[in-house]
Structure 1
Amino acid sequence: MTTTFRRSSPSALGIDAAGIDQLVSALEAAPGVEPHSLVVLRHGAVAAAGWWAPFAPDRPHLLYSLSKSFTAAAVGIAVRAGLIDLDATVISHFPELDAEITDDRTRRMRVRHLLAMASGHRSETIDRAEAIDPTNTVRGFLLLPPDEEPGSVFAYNQPCTYTLAEVVRRASGTSLLEYLRPRLFAPLGIDDFSWRRDDTDAELGYSGGYTTTDAIGALGQLYLQRGVWEGERILDEDWVDQATSAQVANPDEGNPDWSQGYGFQFWMARHGFRGDGAYGQFCVVLPEQDVVVAMTGQSTDMQAVLDAVWEHLLPAVDRAGAADANESLQARLAGLALPPLVGEPLGILPATPPSSPSPVDGDSGLEAVHLTQDPSGRWVVTLVDASGEVTAPVGEGEWLVSGATATSGARTEDVVTVDVRFVETPHLLHVRVDLADGAITAVWETQPLHDGVATLRRPD
């Protein structure tokens, strides 16, 4: 187990358990929302926690852009240690590029501008930066002149955070993970955190972090406690103030909780502030209520997730509840599960099993899908793409967990469907096999942003 918080009950912490129960119902019912985990903290204790099987408390989950908030914490720790000055120019950390970077705006870009996604560019630069220099993202980014004065406009921009990660590496003389382990992870009790690296062996910083839901909650709790953990100051109070207040306006963002301003790798919201990542990875901090909500999921409608929190959890804080509501909620949370596929038994494979050595239909990017049966008669699916291959036994009437996958299969006449969940990520792949003609289709429920089937797992 990663971080261990004191366990309590909603009513003991001043929350009506019925409100959390209603939140769970809303998450399960909302179109475009698939919850994987939910942890609600109040006064530093667990009011409620649940994982939808096959997801589990001790299994890390890909954070996507919620990784940015951990990168920002590394910057804050380095600022406190005197290794980084927020008002230093970015180019001062890359002296080898000084002669090349001649644009005046780029030369005026400061560390604080990167933290606030206010580099002066009007739009995302990752593709353009990597096109300029495929081997050095920082160089490619700094060779793209900003459209406006740094600090004046907001644009969600991955190279801002990648560059911050490189600044920390240079200032500390070590990797981002090695810098954070004794200074953030150890004090908070986070013993399971890994990061996807690029071809230069550098952590992405802006994405690719893997950790548990409890660890997400711990980061939120640290900011809620204004940088102090068990009497030890980890982040300066002034840093917390700046990180969790609007540093740049972003009124053009479409959804209401994305247009309240941006801090230091945290979004301001209609209530409190948060870090978040693609497909519903959330660290929501509500200082007025002394509440932290940590969530993972596979949700394409992230605004709906926050709407459910505002509608059901917020009114339940400091509201009296029924005496038996705690027990009812606890029983429900203990039984949370995503439904497996249902249908006829898979039966026996044809004498010549379907196998696709040519490109598979659908959007999966798979090069091949193979079906076999092991000596016990259990079906086995093998997925092959440019990243490698994954082989997993197929569950029937259940999610069968094997390594970093969980599978469920069912048959309807001559059509077999196998769902493959990559349970250390948000992602689900639907594989459809027609036993009559051998046709195979594979479609992602949500498209992975920077991985293939063999890398959709916690990095070593």
Structure 2
Amino acid sequence: MNIRFASIIILAAFLCTLTSKSFQAAALHSEQLLPPQSFESTAYSEVKSIPYITLSNGSTQSDNGVSKIRYWPDNEWRSSSPEEQGMDSAKLAGMFREIKNKSYEVHSALIIRNGYMVTEAYFQPYDKNTKHEIYSCTKSITSAVFGIAMKEGYIKSTDQKVLDLFTEYKIRNKDSYKKKLTLKHLLMLTPGTYYRDIDNMFEHLPNNYVSEYLDLKLIREPGKTFVYDSFASHMLSAVIQKTTKTTTLEYARKKLFNPLGISDINWPSDPQGISLGGWGIQMLPEDMAKFGYLFLRKGLWNGKQIIPSKWIEESTKKQISTPAQYPVSGGYGYQFWINNKFDGYRADGGGGQMIYILPKYDMVIVFTGAWGNVESTSVISKFVVPAVKSNKALPANKQAYDELKAPIEE
């Protein structure tokens, strides 16, 4: 058996404080992320190596990228050199130089191609066992759970009227716009709400999120205009919880997380016990990668269709255009952003918590940190996508691979 070594690059960086009230508020309801903060230390730790099993013992891709998969990362990811997966180590090494030179505050960086971890890096003091709050990546997980609930018949259709599902509330401002509001409008973030009303809800969190949201006055017809409304996402969780008669967390644990081998997860709830639909999940970077890989594999995991492939298709294609204030957006799906600089789509959370899914390149990329989606998109465009050279293994390139493995020092 041919055994080689792949590296987990352990990079050191100063931990900047991210818990200020202003940052948390911004991260919850805006994907216009904070500018990168400067490192106070550029010392990087020594590289450590772990063994990996070569491609012949792992994944052989078919045309649809699914049928010939030899393993699923239920318990752990298998590692590989970039060259074994048709990627150039020198290009990936350039990404880490860019991160260092521009003082991007990245906490972790993971790249999976063909089902293999070709790069896994953690910036000190973070490591692979550090859970991160993923902020608005929560929205994409809520969407996935919503799709499962639809498959199982708990939710009849995305065309269901929202008011019909919450008849127990005495709702104010029940005008023609509100009567038209559907679940699809919530999924697309086109509910007709006024962004300042959403900001005000975050500044003064109500005792009952659902009741307060249903009472908001809509200023435009639903379905026409994108507005970044995290409470619309929370309403999706309320629908899941109401129809399945269990918390969204417990339903997701049974139907989504357990099948993927995800156990170390926190998902807080609102004062009524409804799992937060638009923000709040804390999870490990490797588990974020599993979620992305499930979407890359069109909802299939280890022989079981976890999420309907049709839901994957619908939720990750452009459903609505987004304004110019979102410069790396090619539109919005059902709680997923469409990439506009390269293939695919992403779950996008405040502070640079990102799950990029690039089907064209059979790749999932995960970042956590305190930078922004503009910066992460830039390094992917400049280094990760150009690193893909072939769908077949490349010849070994010891010099480039050693450069990738080496400590990044000046």
Q: Is the 8 A contact 2:209 2:270 kept in 1?
A: no
Using CA pairs under 8 Å that are at least 6 residues apart, name the structure with larger relative contact order, 1 or 2: 2
CA distance in 2, matches of 1:23, 1:174: 44
User: Paired residue for 2:210?
Assistant: 138
In 2, distance between residues paired with 1:29 and 1:10?
A: 23
Q: Which residue of 1 aligns with 2:38?
A: none
Contact 2:131 2:284 in 1 (8 A): yes
Matching residue within 112, 115, 139 for 1:41: 112
The one-character-per-residue Cα deviations of 1:92-142 (angstroms, maximum 9, x if unpaired) are 221112664622111211111111111122525434447898211122112
2:175 is aligned to 103
Question: In the alignment, which residue of structure 2 is the partner of 1:86?
Answer: 158
Separation in structure 2 between the aligned mates of residue 124 and residue 245 of structure 1, nearest angstrom = 28
Aligned to 2:336: 266
- Native 8 Å contact 1:66 1:282 kept in 2: yes
Question: SS where residue 274 of structure 1 aligns?
Answer: strand
Q: Counterparts in 2 of 1:244-283, with a 5 A limit?
A: 244-255=316-327, 257-258=328-329, 260-270=330-340, 271=342, 272-283=344-355
Distance (whole Å) between structure 2 residues aligned to residue 124 and residue 313 of structure 1: 38
Q: Which amino acid is 2:140 matched to?
A: S
Note if contact 1:9-1:326 (Cα within 8 Å) is conserved in structure 2.
no
Contact preservation (8 Å) 2:315, 2:336: yes
Give the number of the structure whose residues are more often strand, by fraction.
1
How far off its partner does 1:231 sit?
1.4
Q: Counterpart in 2 of 1:323?
A: 397
Q: Which amino acid aligns with 2:212?
A: G
Report the AA paired with residue 269 of structure 1: N
| 2:67 paired with 1:67 | no
Larger CA Rg, structure 1 vs 2:
1
- Can you give the 5+ residue segments of structure 2 that lack an aligned partner in the other structure? 1-72
Aligned partner (choices 300, 314, 317) of residue 228 of structure 1: 300
Q: Give the aligned residue type for 1:62.
A: E
Residue in structure 2 matched with residue 314 of structure 1 by the alignment: 385
The aligned counterpart of 2:256 is 184
Aligned residues with identical type, % of pairs:
30
Aligned residues: 331
Distance 1:130 1:286 in 2: 33
Distance 2:236 2:200 in 1: 18
- AA paired with 1:240? I
Deviations 1:184-224 (A, max 9, x none): 11111111110233333332221111001111111111111
2:193 is aligned with 1:116: no
SS at match of 2:111: strand
Partners of 1:156 and 1:187 lie apart in 2 by 31
The whole-number CA distance in structure 1 between the counterparts of 2:176 and 2:195 is 19
Where 1:15 maps in the other structure, the secondary structure is coil
CA gap 1:318/1:203 in 2 versus in 1, 3 angstroms: same
1:318-368 per-position Cα deviation (integer Å, ceiling 9, x unaligned): 255761156425634xx689xxxxxxxxxxxxxxxxxxxxxxxxxxxxxxx
For residue 26 of structure 1, what is the aligned residue in structure 2? 98
Asked whether the 8 Å contact 2:89–2:404 carries over to 1, the reply is: no
Gaps of at least 5 residues in structure 1 are 338-460
Task: Name 1:446's counterpart in structure 2.
Answer: none
TM-score (norm 1): 0.68
> Contact 1:133–1:140 (CA<8 Å) still a contact in 2?
no
3-state SS of paired residue (1:39):
strand
Q: Mapping of 1:433-444 within 5 angstroms?
A: none
Q: Which residue of 1 aligns with 2:310?
A: 238
CA 1:321/1:250 → structure 2, altered by over 3 Å: closer, same or farther?
Answer: farther
